[in-house]
Amino acid sequence: MEKFDVIVVGAGPSGNAAAYTLAKGGLKVLQLERGESPGTKNVQGAILYADALERIIPDFRDSAPLERHVAEQRMWLLDENQSCTGATYRDARFSQEPYNRYTILRARFDRWFSEKVKAAGALVICETTVKELLRGDQGEVIGVRTERAEGDILADCVILADGANALLGERARLRPKVRADDMALAVKEVLFLPKETIEARFNIAGTQGVVIEIAGNITHGMVGTGFLYTNKDSVSVGIGCMLSDMKKQSLTPYQLLEGLKQHPSVKPLIEGAEMKEYSAHLIPEGGYKALPQLYGDGWMVVGDSAGFVNAVHREGSNLAMTSGRFAAETLIELQQAGKPFTSGNLAAYKARLDGSFVMADLKKYEEVPALLHDNPHILGTYPRVLGDAARAILTVDGQPKRDKQKQVLAELKGKRSLLGLLGDAYKFWRAFR
């Protein structure tokens, strides 16, 4: 039976970063992907953060399929009274090369990344679902079982880059089952429009793009957010909510998405577009407290499979690529030192994560999932009050502004006691400081 130094399961950003780095480092790598080609199973908003990829492929801008660079970010609070309160951040420096953030379409991006992995020397086999991990006498991971005939393959280390469902780790009892409490389900549509129409509607030119993060009553009290990103000749629109909330109510994911698309602030932006794909995917949003064991004898877990997502900043692919690179660098270093891939030695992977933005950011927001989970009114009440306040102040109707302010305050206090308000403010400050 053929044996590899490392088997990487999955060809998303985390698996590709790992396989690429390992192959460049001279290890014998096999990467297995269940999709017909890499990317055909994967969904993202999607914003790509240049920094994480640059550390792996410095000249990625020359060949990667990038849609637009992010020239402007908007943050919107939509309420059920059909108002939108928001902030816009446009910075001319965002449009100076090298750009920092790009919109991408994952099916195209993953395929590109995979070509780089192959060119670096890894063996990439698609259309192959890994069924389970193979174990040695001491319980160490020694390879994988695929669904193919004679499909057992051995390796000194298996990197689990299999994404949010994390089935392989669960079935091998390396981790508990992922929980509905720690998962968001996002649905998304790619809506095509002529390039000129997008540029006119979003006030952009050339490769400039706009990304809009959306919160408020579009989630009907559930913890969740929406997004609208511009691509070259399409717009990606999506919405995601925590599964623990979604299972307790009666609106389907596609009804939520339709509600977002029909909101008067969104509708004119996508008017007349042709929908060419509808997709859905889970996002692990449990944060630091939901992280599983990250390594053991003969295995490591990277990316979404480990739960490396910073939900507050909607970052995932960059944590995926960084953790994949760290796992690979750990193995390269051990191999060069002639050390086996035991749990004790693989602890160096965790040390790398601990010393980086991956763990620092996850730790920083460790209270946020619980905060939002325990205070669902935060997402419903405040957008509505903000919207009502702005409407009252901005409507010119002969009423003195003083009266209006009083009215706004009374409204707010009616929804939330002063103590509750202070409590929310304090909790927010603690969770985000």
Partner 1 sequence: MNAPVEFIPPRINVEEKLFQDRYRVDVGRPHIQVRDPQACKHCAKPCAVCCPAGCWSVTEQGGIDLVVDGCLECGTCRLVCDHDNVDWNYPRGGFGILFKFG
Residue 13, interface with ligand FAD (CB under 6 A)? yes
* 337 three-class SS: coil
Contact 261, 237 (CB under 8 A): yes
Q: Out of ligand FAD, partner 1, none, which partner does residue 180 contact, by CB within 5 to 8 A per kind?
A: partner 1
Q: Do residues 332 and 22 lie in contact, with contact meaning Cβ atoms separated by under 8 Å?
A: yes
Q: Which part of the chain contacts ligand FAD (CB under 6 A), choosing from 156-164, 241-249, 345-353, 404-412?
A: 156-164
**Whose CA is closest to 238, among 191, 274, 189, 184?**
189
- Candidates 5, 182, 304, 361: give the one binding ligand FAD (CB under 6 A): 304
| Extended strands (E) in 136-207 | 141-146, 152-160, 183-192
The residue length of the chain stands at 433
Q: 67-85 burial, b if ≥16 CB within 10 A, otherwise e? A: bbbbbbbbebbbbeeebbb
Does position 312 interact with partner 1 (CB under 8 A)? The reply is: no
Scanning 53-61, 102-110, 334-342, 368-376 for contacts with partner 1 by CB under 8 A, the matching segment is 102-110
The Cα–Cα gap between 263 and 282 comes to 24
Q: Segment near ligand FAD (CB under 6 A), from 190-198, 257-265, 301-309, 363-371? A: 301-309
Site for ligand FAD in 123-152 (CB under 6 A): 129-130
Calculate helix-pair angle for 13-24, 106-120, nearest 10 degrees.
20
- Out of 14, 16, 31, 44, the residue judged to bind partner 1 by CB under 8 A: 44
d(CA 281, CA 165): 10
**Least distance from ligand FAD to the Cβ atom of residue 27, Å:** 19
Selected range binding partner 1 among 31-39, 112-120, 206-214, 419-427, rule: CB under 8 A: 31-39
Footprint on residues 256-285 left by partner 1 (CB under 8 A): 258-259, 262, 275-282
Strands 29-32 and 47-49: unpaired
**Token pair 């801008």 in the structure block, residue:** 61
> Out of 28, 40, 120, 135, which residue is the one contacting partner 1 (CB under 8 A)?
40
* Residue (51 or 403) nearer to ligand FAD, CB: 51
Q: Which residues bind ligand FAD (CB under 6 A)?
A: 9-15, 32-35, 41-47, 49, 129-130, 161-163, 168, 186, 188, 238, 240, 281, 283, 303-305, 309, 314-318, 320
